[in-house]
Amino acid sequence: MKKGVLAILFLMPVAICLAQTSPETAIRKVLADQVAAWNKGDVVDFMKGYWHNDSLAFIGHSITYGYDSTLAHYKTTYDSPDKMGKLFFTLLRIQRLSTDAYFVIGKWLLKRKAGDIGGMYTLLFSKIDGQWRIIADHTSN
């Protein structure tokens, strides 16, 4: 076998592994996409980071179950550009719990005309159908 072919056969698995996105990178991208969607004023696009399921749990001042209920909560609470403002996330920790589950801790800040607000969040991510999605969100201010 020629050296060039042997090198390609040896390096191909390495290249495939490098081309795959790490879970941490994929989770960071979900969060970055959420920030970008929020800052465009697109709550529906922001929600793409969440699990589209009735078992989604959002905990704020109360507990909201389900994707549709969480979307309705966001639309009601942030019903104008002044209330939405500009979103900023600061990631503090991304911890692997298992091959398909990660725990994320961070800070959030909304800079807005209606008055800045912010707080902390904890997220539980799960890999569902090949995509990392938030299955539980506990956000406080």
Domain ranges of the chain: 22-140
The residue assigned the tokens 């699990």 is: 51
Amino acid at 6: L
Q: What is the dihedral of CA 131, 134, 55, 53, to 10 degrees?
A: -40
What count of residues does the chain have?
141
In this prediction, residue 130 carries a pLDDT of 96
Q: What are the residues facing 126 on neighbouring strands?
A: 101, 133
Rounded distance, CA 56 to CA 54, Å? 6
Predicted pLDDT at 5: 46
pLDDT tens-place string over residues 118-128: 999 999 999 99
Q: Considering the domain delimited by 22-140, tell me its CATH architecture.
A: Roll (3.10)
pLDDT at residue 11 is higher than 80: no
Q: Does position 6 have pLDDT exceeding 60, yes or no?
A: no
**pLDDT in the model for residue 114:** 85
CA angle (130, 132, 107) in 5-degree steps? 175
Q: Residue 66 contacts by C-beta under 8 Å, 6 or more apart in sequence?
A: 53, 54, 55, 56
DSSP 50: B
Mean of pLDDT values over 72-87: 95
